[in-house]
């Protein structure tokens, strides 16, 4: 005979003499307690003062903040799911003290109330964690990652398309005026050509009127008449539409019609770096160890142009700049090196070809590379591999997207025609010309010395930690695509996910 099966006692609706409190149902070392403890320790007086008196009572902002942060810690980003959690989940019920804010209350608090306060709340938490000794705001690593916007990827506006359309209208106007000149070619007087150098609604409409006036008494081809009627009816409207779109673009190359502040960027969709263009934001993050100490959002693809604004936000948050900064080659521009030097920040920032210079024998031993040519500073002259002088023949200036002025010198060899090494040296016609930015070269040399120093090697090894932070946020927390629209609201979401990440990691370090 088999042994008798014994089930544990199961009685529903059993009355309790002393019902347990919610606090008893939560383990002592649980992440929800970390969120509660830290939010209780920060100053929310400014946020509280933003509420106006009168009318019905409001839910306390401290309670709503706890619910939101813990929601983001638990990968719950929807206001409706947060509302459901407050009704059903014992951790949320404990945080809210039994209050039941609905999804509209939670959404309004997140999108409107926190708008002017979340950055200060985030900074307070970072300072508190720094006082605990788990992070530093003076030693940071900076990197960027793309976040997909909550926008339709198929409703887009491209800056290049607008430029092409303007050029097409200008070309067609010239063709119409050419037709006018052909009509008048046998007559002594040809009408004065209208000015439409600036392709805007007013100038184009005036030009069309003048063309119409010039052809009023002439026999005009049906095709030309049709084009003129179309131009009169549509071109002015189209150009007004282009002007509105260019205001929204504000110098960017694209935007999505469903989130006009999102820019189309190439997203890395898998480990093979395969991806496609999607509307998104460029998240710039500063980390210390595995903690986030600063975040900012950019609307351009390149990280290079975003560093200055990102560091100014650091100074605004903490009242001082960091002392040491580590970053990859995406930030190694002349403008950034100069800015970091001005702010007295020790920059462990790579530049293009840094790794090649160190590891590639082919690069190191190539005698034809401009960087490998001998330079006589006193004479301001380079010498090619056969010893021919390459003298300074002038300068070349260009402005970056940020308006920063770069200056390079041009050096030209005297006679390359019969040089036995020409085929390996250069393929251009005439004598070889090299372009050298001496300022950038100096900054790169300084960066190289720092990066190859004992501390520089340590910094380079630790740079992966910022990737680990991005990996946690995007893969463990599933936060690859934002839920809100518009730069301000997306920045709030990023602040909440940053807070959740920091408190979760702090809890893990304390054994929660």
pLDDT (tens digit, 9 = 90+) per residue, 68-106?
A: 999 999 999 999 999 999 999 999 999 999 999 999 999
Of 60-64, 149-153, 220-224, 315-319, the one with minimum mean pLDDT is: 220-224
Pair 122, 187 in one domain: no
Pair 422, 384 in one domain: yes
What would the pLDDT profile of 275-295 be if each residue is shown by its tens digit?
Answer: 789 999 999 999 999 999 999
pLDDT at 199 over 70: yes
Total structural domains within the chain: 3
The whole-angstrom separation of Cα 151 and Cα 483 is: 9
Pair 125, 218 in one domain: no
Domain that holds residue 420: 355-449
What would the pLDDT profile of 28-42 be if each residue is shown by its tens digit?
Answer: 999 999 999 999 999
Of 198-202, 303-307, 349-353, 480-484, the one with minimum mean pLDDT is: 198-202
The whole-angstrom separation of Cα 154 and Cα 298 is: 21
pLDDT at 273 over 60: no
| Residue 272: inside a domain | no
Unique residue bearing structure tokens 């390459």 = 390
CA dihedral 299, 305, 311, 312 (to 10 degrees): -80
- Cβ atoms of 303 and 144 closer than 8 Å: yes
Give whichever of 6-10, 416-420, 432-436 has the largest mean pLDDT: 432-436
483-503 burial: b if 16+ Cβ within 10 Å, else e: ebbbeebbbbbbbbbbbbbbb
Pair 362, 415 in one domain: yes
**Single residue among 431, 449, 467 that ends a domain in this structure:** 449
The residues near 73 (Cβ < 8 Å, ≥ 6 apart) are: 31, 35, 500, 503, 504
Unique residue bearing structure tokens 């090697």 = 457
Pair 234, 188 in one domain: yes
Pair 383, 431 in one domain: yes
Mean pLDDT of the chain: 91
pLDDT at position 1, please?
Answer: 60
Pair 116, 43 in one domain: yes
Pair 201, 126 in one domain: no
Helix segments in 109-155, DSSP class H: 118-131
Pair 421, 367 in one domain: yes
Pair 128, 192 in one domain: no
- What Å distances lie between residue 205 and 26, 166, 172, 278, CA to CA? 72, 14, 13, 37
**Single residue among 394, 428, 449 that ends a domain in this structure:** 449
| Residue 341: inside a domain | no
| Residue 44: inside a domain | yes
**Single residue among 420, 449, 478 that ends a domain in this structure:** 449
| Residue 330: inside a domain | no
The whole-angstrom separation of Cα 490 and Cα 297 is: 8
pLDDT at 126 over 60: yes
Pair 121, 26 in one domain: yes
| Residue 73: inside a domain | yes
pLDDT at 423 over 80: yes
pLDDT interval class at 297 (50, 70, 90): very high
| Residue 279: inside a domain | no
Pair 131, 168 in one domain: no
pLDDT at position 264, please?
Answer: 95
| Residue 401: inside a domain | yes
| Residue 413: inside a domain | yes
């Amino acid at each position: 005979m088999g042994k008798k099966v014994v089930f544990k006692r199961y009685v529903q609706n059993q009355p309790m003499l002393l019902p347990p409190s919610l606090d008893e149902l939560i383990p002592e070392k649980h992440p929800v307690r970390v969120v509660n403890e830290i939010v209780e320790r920060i100053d929310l007086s400014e946020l509280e003062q933003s509420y106006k008196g009168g009318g019905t009572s409001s839910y306390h902002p401290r309670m709503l903040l706890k619910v939101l942060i813990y929601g983001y810690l638990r990968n719950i980003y929807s206001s409706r799911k947060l509302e459901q959690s407050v009704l059903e989940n014992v951790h949320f019920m404990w945080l809210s003290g039994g209050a039941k804010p609905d999804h509209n209350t939670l959404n309004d608090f997140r999108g409107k109330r926190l708008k002017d306060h979340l950055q200060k709340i985030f900074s307070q938490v970072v300072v508190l964690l720094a006082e605990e000794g788990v992070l530093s705001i003076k030693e940071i690593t900076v990197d960027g990652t793309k976040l997909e916007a909550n926008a339709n990827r198929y409703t887009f506006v491209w800056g290049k398309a607008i430029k092409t359309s303007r050029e097409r209208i200008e070309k067609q106007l010239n063709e119409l005026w050419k037709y006018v000149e052909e009509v008048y070619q046998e007559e002594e007087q040809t009408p004065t050509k209208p000015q439409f150098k600036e392709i805007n609604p007013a100038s184009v409409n005036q030009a069309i009127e003048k063309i119409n006036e010039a052809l009023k008494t002439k026999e005009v081809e049906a095709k030309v008449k049709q084009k003129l009627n179309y131009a009169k009816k549509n071109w002015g409207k189209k150009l007004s539409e282009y002007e509105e779109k260019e205001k929204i673009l504000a110098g960017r190359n694209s935007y999505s019609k469903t989130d006009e502040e999102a820019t189309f960027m190439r997203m890395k969709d898998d480990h093979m770096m395969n991806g496609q263009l999607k509307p998104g934001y460029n998240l710039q993050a500063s980390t210390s160890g595995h903690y986030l100490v600063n975040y900012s959002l950019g609307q351009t693809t390149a990280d290079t142009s975003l560093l200055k604004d990102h560091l100014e936000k650091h100074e605004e948050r903490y009242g001082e700049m960091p002392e040491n900064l580590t970053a990859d080659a995406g930030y190694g521009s002349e403008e950034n090196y100069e800015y970091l030097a001005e702010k007295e920040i020790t920059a462990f920032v790579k530049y293009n070809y840094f790794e090649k210079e160190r590891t590639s024998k082919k690069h190191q031993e190539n005698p034809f590379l401009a960087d490998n040519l001998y330079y006589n500073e006193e004479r301001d002259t380079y010498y090619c591999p056969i010893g021919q002088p390459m003298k300074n023949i002038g300068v070349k200036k260009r402005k970056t997207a940020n308006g920063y002025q770069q200056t390079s010198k041009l050096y030209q060899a005297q006679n390359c025609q019969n040089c036995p090494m020409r085929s390996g040296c250069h393929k251009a016609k005439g004598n070889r010309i090299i372009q050298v930015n001496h300022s950038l070269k100096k900054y790169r040399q300084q960066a190289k010395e720092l990066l190859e120093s004992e501390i520089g090697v340590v910094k380079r090894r630790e740079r992966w930690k910022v990737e680990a932070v991005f990996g946690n946020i995007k893969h463990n927390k599933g936060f690859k695509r934002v839920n809100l629209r518009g730069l301000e609201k997306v920045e709030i979401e990023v602040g909440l996910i940053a807070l959740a990440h920091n408190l979760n990691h702090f809890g893990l370090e304390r054994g929660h």
